[in-house]
Structure 1
Amino acid sequence: MSGQLEGTRAFITGGGTGIGQASAIALAAQGCFVTIAGRTQRTLEETVTLVREAGGSAAWVLCDVSDEASVAHAVDAAASEDGRLDYGINSAGVSGGDDLRPLADYSNEQFDRMIDIDLRGTFLSMKHELRHMVPFGHGSIVNIASGAGIVGVPGFAGYVAAKHGQVGLTKTAALDYGTRGIRVNAIAAGLVDTPLIAEGRPPEIMAARIAAHPIGRIGRPEEIADAVVWLCSERSSFVTGTAIPVDGGYAAR
């Protein structure tokens, strides 16, 4: 298989399902060797199988993004023999659920969980990805954020804080490393049809969330993955430090 990313290597957190899985398949289709990371071996193996069945190359590694030693090991495993890593796609995360509460009633436990996985996990992943990219003067990092990273959402204090934090990390890293050949961007995704979003939710809740998207539907993982490939490729060579809405108009309301 050959493509615009032939001979490159990518590390993808949350690669066992949803956006991470779709990104792995899309990057591999362009010739990139992808290493997917996550906490569930079964889903990681499923993604690797899908990539290989499509003619791509992939490996998996167990990783808990809230644990720095685990992240460091996983990123090292994803790099080439000489330590090069071309792309980091940070997709691991947890959602805010449906327990909507005004900020004063938001539980400390839920807030800490959002920050620990969604925000700290992104920070740790970026930290170790960048350490592999800097010596080579080349790289692109794509953080999978959310529309909740650029607008407020009532009842989702922890999730909104974590996603805004991801966007802030993206902008800061872009400034830190822009002159070193490394670009850092985020995708402010709208609601996407993944197991994390749809599983177990009453139809009326899903209907309300779909209605929040002016395009009239939620997104597909492959639509976010297309943006990931673009941000990794040289076609986006003048793009860094931004959170690009791929959201069916959600943030335009």
Structure 2
Amino acid sequence: MARLKDKVAVITGAGSGIGRSAAQLMSREGARVVVADHNSPAAEETAALIEAAGGRALPVTVDVTDEGSIADMINAATDEFGALHILCNHVGGTNPRTDLDLLRMDLDEFDRAVTLNVRSTLLGTRHAIPHMIRAGGGSIINTASVAALVGDVLQTSYGAVKAAVVSLTKSIATQYGPQNVRCNAIAPGAVMTPALANNLPTDVIEALKQGNALPYLGTPDDIGHTMVFLASDESRYLTGQLLVVDGGMTMQSSAAPGRRAMLPG
């Protein structure tokens, strides 16, 4: 089933992890994909994987902190494929070494986090929407985080900027719904991306797993499949929403893992 046949998708952060998964899965569903990443070799590798599987992909180097680079990315998509229907604003992040608690956090890191997560989402959308309107509509998918929904002892900036992404998503959906442009956000929980696997100790990963209602952590494909759903007409009546894809991490009581261990058998 080609759920995205004849669609053109731009995906930022598509050089690895969740972005690469989304690019490959959308291609399998018939989309022509612009694989955008600041890491040129990684973008080229993702595009090569798509082409080897019979799809069409264009690797693009992008710096999402620079508006000119974002504009060039969107223009490359329409120049190569003639239209734009899907935008995944997936790039984001923070520096855990400097994004600390409120009194110790680096304010320069806060400004950087705003630029990398919020401003990039706003600018990518701003440049994409006129093309989507010309195409008769489109779907914008923003990557938020469960950090937007809960408090934490560290990464103060990250939670704040991802909450801003959720709010921005609702404004975009409200303002451009009449032009048939939908906008939704995804809040991933702990996902076994290469970044997580390579940067967290085994005991921390196990603790994250114990915090889930499901007995495992997610994979990039779990988020990628959700992005495909939001990109497709199967979600045509869904806009302005936050889909929390976290294995039940944020919905259960913090006492649940301990109480589960007390159950007989």
- TM-score (norm: length of structure 1): 0.94
Residues 60-89 of structure 1 deviation map (CA, whole Å, 9 limit, x = unaligned): 111000100000000110125685200001
Contact 1:83-1:132 within 8 A present in 2 as well? no
Listed as ranges, the matches of 1:181-192 within 5 Å are 181-192=180-191
| Structure of higher CA gyration radius | 2
Find the counterpart in structure 2 of residue 136 from structure 1. 135
Find the counterpart in structure 2 of residue 6 from structure 1. 5
RMSD: 1.7
Q: Percent identity?
A: 36
Contact 2:77-2:84 within 8 A present in 1 as well? yes
Contact 2:99-2:110 within 8 A present in 1 as well? no
Of the structure 1 ranges 124-133 and 223-232, higher mean CA displacement relative to structure 2 is found in 124-133
| CA displacement at 1:209 relative to structure 2 | 2.5
**Distance change in 2, residues 1:178/1:118 (3 Å):** same
Residues 118-165 of structure 1 deviation map (CA, whole Å, 9 limit, x = unaligned): 111111111111121123331000111111123333312110011101
Contact 1:118-1:162 within 8 A present in 2 as well? yes
Find the counterpart in structure 2 of residue 91 from structure 1. 90
Find the counterpart in structure 2 of residue 107 from structure 1. 106
Contact 1:23-1:226 within 8 A present in 2 as well? yes
* Alpha-carbon separation, structure 2, partners of 1:164 and 1:56: 35
| CA displacement at 1:15 relative to structure 2 | 0.6
Find the counterpart in structure 2 of residue 235 from structure 1. 234
Find the counterpart in structure 2 of residue 218 from structure 1. 217
Q: Which amino acid aligns with 2:103?
A: A
Of the structure 1 ranges 66-75 and 205-214, higher mean CA displacement relative to structure 2 is found in 205-214
Find the counterpart in structure 1 of residue 116 from structure 2. 117
Report the 3-state secondary structure (helix = DSSP H, G, I; strand = E; otherwise coil) of the residue aligned with 2:150: coil
* Alpha-carbon separation, structure 2, partners of 1:100 and 1:63: 24
* Alpha-carbon separation, structure 2, partners of 1:75 and 1:84: 10
Of the structure 1 ranges 210-219 and 92-101, higher mean CA displacement relative to structure 2 is found in 92-101
| CA displacement at 1:214 relative to structure 2 | 2.1
Which runs of no fewer than 5 residues in structure 1 stay unpaired? none
Find the counterpart in structure 2 of residue 157 from structure 1. 156
Contact 1:214-1:250 within 8 A present in 2 as well? yes
**Distance change in 2, residues 1:210/1:97 (3 Å):** farther
Find the counterpart in structure 2 of residue 28 from structure 1. 27
**Distance change in 2, residues 1:100/1:147 (3 Å):** same
Q: Which amino acid aligns with 1:55?
A: G
Find the counterpart in structure 2 of residue 196 from structure 1. 195
Report the 3-state secondary structure (helix = DSSP H, G, I; strand = E; otherwise coil) of the residue aligned with 1:25: helix
Matched, 1:65 2:64: yes
Aligned residue pair count: 252
Matched, 1:206 2:205: yes
* Alpha-carbon separation, structure 2, partners of 1:159 and 1:122: 14
**Distance change in 2, residues 1:92/1:224 (3 Å):** same
Find the counterpart in structure 1 of residue 50 from structure 2. 51
Q: Which amino acid aligns with 2:120?
A: G
Of the structure 1 ranges 220-229 and 47-56, higher mean CA displacement relative to structure 2 is found in 47-56
Report the 3-state secondary structure (helix = DSSP H, G, I; strand = E; otherwise coil) of the residue aligned with 1:158: helix
Contact 1:96-1:158 within 8 A present in 2 as well? no
